[in-house]
Amino acid sequence: MSAAIDKATPSIKLILIGDSGTGKSSLLVAYTEQRFVGPDEAVATVGVDFRLVKKVIDGKATKAYIWDTAGQERFRTLTSSFYRGASVVFVVFDVTERESFENLDSWFTEVRQYCGKNGVLTCIVANKCDMAERVVTTDEAIEYAKAHDAEYREVSAKTMDGVKDLFDSFAEQVARHPNLPKSGSTDSVNIGDKSSATAAPPSSSSCAC
């Protein structure tokens, strides 16, 4: 018998940040819909896009909310509300675009600013690892992750290699760790049977990158 999931079920918030075009939206869709969405399938939305994944971990019902920036990163308009309550921060870069790797510093500055010492897990996610035009090596990315006390994963939203394990493993880490941020019902979201929704701060758009 599966565990019941209701409004009182503990929730986990996982967020995706990183430069535009690194594949954050594609990773979100790859995990929640098991399909690849490329730039040519971009759909304009307003605000922050998030999906709900209902999970049972160690026999206990858990709601994992996965938040995407929905294009706001292009305008550097992310605010504390996006980071608030996060259990996991995935910092995504594109292995074929060195600039997206070099910009990780600014993203970690933002994480420190908004998350402080709240005990969030951070993971650097190297996306598009299926591409032959790789310009950022695994070794240098691992060294960067170590220097920032972050975990490191390599994935491909296109082939879906490593995507399921990325989200599942971190959701499980949070669910099993008593000191990581969790909450009961999520005040800022109300997600129905489609297990996805869009919050709407003003003046932003998105791309499925």
Inside any domain, residue 118: yes
The share of the chain scoring above pLDDT 70, in percent, equals: 72
Q: What range does the domain containing 23 cover?
A: 11-183
**Residue 156 falls within a domain, yes or no?**
yes
Using 50 as the pLDDT threshold, list the residues of the chain that sit under it.
1-2, 44-46, 184-209
List the structure tokens of 184: 């009961």
Asked if the structure places residue 203 within a domain, the reply is no
Q: What is the CATH number of the domain that holds 87?
A: 3.40.50.300
Q: What's residue 116's pLDDT?
A: 82
Q: Can you give the pLDDT at residue 128?
A: 98
Name residue 18's beta-bridge partners. 92
Q: Do residues 15 and 89 lie in contact, with contact meaning Cβ atoms separated by under 8 Å? A: yes
Amino acid at 97: E
- The rounded distance, in Å, linking the Cα atoms of 180 and 130 is 33
The answer as to whether 204 is a domain residue is no
Q: Which tens digit of pLDDT belongs to each residue from 129-144? A: 999 999 999 999 999 9
Supply the pLDDT for residue 198: 36
pTM of the model as a whole: 0.81
pLDDT value for 3:
56
Other beta carbons within 10 angstroms of residue 109's beta carbon come to: 10
- Cβ atoms of 12 and 88 within 8 Å: the answer is yes
Cα–Cα dist 186/7, whole Å? 8
What does the pLDDT read at residue 42?
53
Q: Is residue 79 part of a domain?
A: yes
**Encoded tokens for 120:** 């969030």
**Total count of domains within the chain:** 1
What's residue 35's pLDDT?
Answer: 94
Cβ-contact 98, 109 below 8 angstroms: no
65 by Cβ neighbours in 10 Å (0-12 / 13-18 / 19+) ranks as: buried
User: From CA 48, how far away is CA 199, in angstroms rounded?
Assistant: 5
Tokens 């986990």, residue located: 12
| The pLDDT value given to residue 101 | 98
Residue 85 forms part of a structural domain: yes
Residue 209 lies in a domain: no
The verdict on residue 207 lying in a domain is no
Q: For residue 7, what pLDDT is reported?
A: 62
